Amino acid sequence: DNHLKIAVIPGDGIGKEVVPEGLRVLEAVAKRHNIDMRFDEFDFASCDYFQKHGQMMPDDWKEQVGGHDALFFGAVGWPETVPDHVSLWGSLIQFRREFDQYISLRPARLMPGVPCPLVGREPGDIDMMIVRENTEGEYSSIGGKMFAGTPREVVLQETVMSRIGVDRVLKYAFELAATRPRAKLTSATKSNGISITMPYWDERVAEMAKDYPGISVDKYHIDILTAHFVLNPDKFDVVVASNLFGDILSDLGPACAGTIGIAPSGNINPEREFPSLFEPVHGSAPDIASQGIANPIGQIWAGAMMLDHLGHAEAASDIMRAIERILSEPAMRTRDLGGQADTQMCGKSVADALD
Ligand code: NAD
Ligand code: IPM
Ligand code: MN
């Protein structure tokens, strides 16, 4: 049987509100394109699951979802009941590490009709792909606490950069830049202050640039890079960054393009040895959860990235066209974009706008 099997994991907060809208659009587009796609929903990787079972996921989670073609994920985190590092290291970060999803691909694009918080910017001025290293770097489990509870208490957490780990994310970013008209790659660094790992990152970028003479390469320290994102976002095409810097840039880029509510991400294992995971960039947004007002477009766009990854590029571009149509209708926009539409209205209007 060659149908696509998708593991659906809504998670917490607005994850549970936007995932159904993502599924609504996926089901509609699958029907139009005769794609046989089936969904299995899982209640783990949520703080509700933790409260019942004392852990975020069952011991056999890998067996339960590892055979699926992809994971369609909402958001995790409910800090009122479970500390964030416990809920995230017990779920999302396990998926990324255990399924070796070493690429986090995060587009930031100013969409036609969307109000831009930066003065005078038009669609086309902001169109970047952030390629974030997703399995090592600053997010390492190496470290610990010494002299706990005493005045001499010390905590440390090491940054890990392996040659394989750095080179594979750089290679992905260079190859991606080579497919884009501007063929430009910017590297985020901090080699002036972080004096061992970041100079190593720069060195590997310079080494790989030799293999890609057609790509124009530049680098900025992360501090001034954040300023350029705001002041000169048109400078950027593909931006490659370590795990932490990529995390920061992938909220900043979409915010510069109007809202983090429409930003998608693919956690990708390019070798396809394991399933990849598609989710919005945003989190569970406890401040607006259960009000039905979250923007579902980040989740819907993540569905388009998932279809593209699974070889259904036409279905993916249908979704993108529908998203563009809906975003240029002020009445269909959610509150984060200055509109009045609720989550379901917005999701339904995208499904209805499919060709
Ligand atoms: P957040 O992204 O959840 O929310 C930040 C702000 O953006 C909030 O004001 C929220 O209301 C708004 N927002 C986010 N998504 C929106 C949407 N779709 N529509 C409209 N507004 C939206 O970030 P946070 O507040 O730092 O984190 C909340 C929780 O989510 C924490 O537990 C955090 O650890 C977790 N988190 C999870 C993920 C993930 O699962 N990938 C990502 C980020 C944060
Ligand atoms: C993201 C999130 C996660 C990250 C958190 C929730 C651990 O911010 O997906 O961007 O830092 O990667
Ligand atoms: Mn983040």
Q: What is the rounded distance in angstroms from the CA atom of residue 149 to the CA atom of residue 17?
A: 41
For residue 355, the model assigns a pLDDT of: 85
Whether 194 and 248 share a structural domain: yes
Question: Could you give the 3-state DSSP secondary structure of residue 121?
Answer: coil
68-82 CB burial, b ≥16 within 10 A, e <16: bbbbbbbbbbbeeeb
Q: Using a 6 Å cutoff on CB, does residue 17 contact ligand 1?
A: no
CB contact set of 57 (below 8 Å; sequence gap of 6+): 44, 45, 49, 90, 91, 94
Both structure tokens of 175? 């190859």
Q: What total of structural domains would you count in the chain?
A: 2
Tell whether 22 is covered by a domain: yes
The helix-helix angle for 313-327 and 297-309 (nearest 10°) equals 160
Q: Using a 6 Å cutoff on CB, does residue 92 contact ligand 1?
A: yes
Residue pair 72/6 in contact by the 8 Å Cβ criterion: yes
Whether 249 and 151 share a structural domain: yes
Cα(208) to centroid of ligand 2, in Å? Answer: 28
| Look-up of token digits 């703080």 | 47
Whether 97 and 125 share a structural domain: no
Tell whether 170 is covered by a domain: yes
Cα(224) to centroid of ligand 3, in Å? Answer: 19
Q: Please provide the distance, in angstroms rounded to a whole number, between the alpha carbons at the two ends of the chain.
A: 28
For residue 113, the model assigns a pLDDT of: 87
Cα(276) to centroid of ligand 3, in Å? Answer: 18
Tell whether 334 is covered by a domain: yes
Whether 136 and 248 share a structural domain: yes
| Look-up of token digits 């593209």 | 308
Please state, as a whole number, how many other Cβ atoms lie within 10 Å of the Cβ of residue 347.
26
- What is the predicted ipTM? 0.99
Q: Which of 227, 257, 287 finishes a domain?
A: 257
The helix-helix angle for 343-352 and 297-309 (nearest 10°) equals 40
Residues at CB less than 6 angstroms from ligand 2: 88, 247, 281, 283
Please state, as a whole number, how many other Cβ atoms lie within 10 Å of the Cβ of residue 164.
10
Both structure tokens of 224? 């001034």
User: Which of 282, 327, 342, 343 maximizes ligand 1 atoms within 8 Å of its Cβ, making it the mutation to test the pocket?
Assistant: 282
Low-confidence ranges of the chain (pLDDT < 70): 1
Whether 12 and 66 share a structural domain: yes
CB contact set of 97 (below 8 Å; sequence gap of 6+): 135
Whether 129 and 244 share a structural domain: yes
- Of all atoms in ligand 1, which is nearest to the CA of residue 265? 41
Q: Which of 201, 230, 257 finishes a domain?
A: 257
Whether 26 and 150 share a structural domain: no
Ligand 1 atom 20 nearest Cα: 294
Residue pair 76/12 in contact by the 8 Å Cβ criterion: yes
* pLDDT tens column, 148-183: 999 999 999 999 999 999 999 999 999 999 999 999
For residue 29, the model assigns a pLDDT of: 98
- Of all atoms in ligand 2, which is nearest to the CA of residue 243? 12
For residue 263, the ligand closest to its alpha carbon is 1
In this structure, the chain runs to a length of 355
* pLDDT tens column, 58-110: 999 999 999 999 999 999 999 999 999 999 999 999 999 999 999 999 999 99
Whether 122 and 251 share a structural domain: yes
Question: Could you give the 3-state DSSP secondary structure of residue 3?
Answer: coil
CB contact set of 166 (below 8 Å; sequence gap of 6+): 133, 200, 201, 204
Q: State which residues form the domain around 347.
A: 1-105+273-355
Whether 124 and 237 share a structural domain: yes
Q: What is the rounded distance in angstroms from the CA atom of residue 311 to the CA atom of residue 103?
A: 18
Whether 66 and 127 share a structural domain: no
Chain centroid, CA 274 distance in Å: 17
Using only C-alpha atoms, the chain has a radius of gyration, in whole angstroms, of 20
Chain centroid, CA 41 distance in Å: 20
User: Which of 101, 139, 247 maximizes ligand 2 atoms within 8 Å of its Cβ, making it the mutation to test the pocket?
Assistant: 247
Q: Which of 230, 257, 284 finishes a domain?
A: 257
Chain centroid, CA 331 distance in Å: 27
Ligand 1 atom 23 nearest Cα: 283
Q: What is the rounded distance in angstroms from the CA atom of residue 315 to the CA atom of residue 29?
A: 6
For residue 135, the model assigns a pLDDT of: 98
Whether 15 and 73 share a structural domain: yes
Q: Which CATH number goes with the domain that contains 316?
A: 3.40.718.10
Whether 97 and 18 share a structural domain: yes
Please state, as a whole number, how many other Cβ atoms lie within 10 Å of the Cβ of residue 278.
28
Please state, as a whole number, how many other Cβ atoms lie within 10 Å of the Cβ of residue 301.
27
Ligand 2 atom 11 nearest Cα: 247
Tell whether 245 is covered by a domain: yes
Residue from 61, 98, 36, 18 nearest 276 by CA: 98
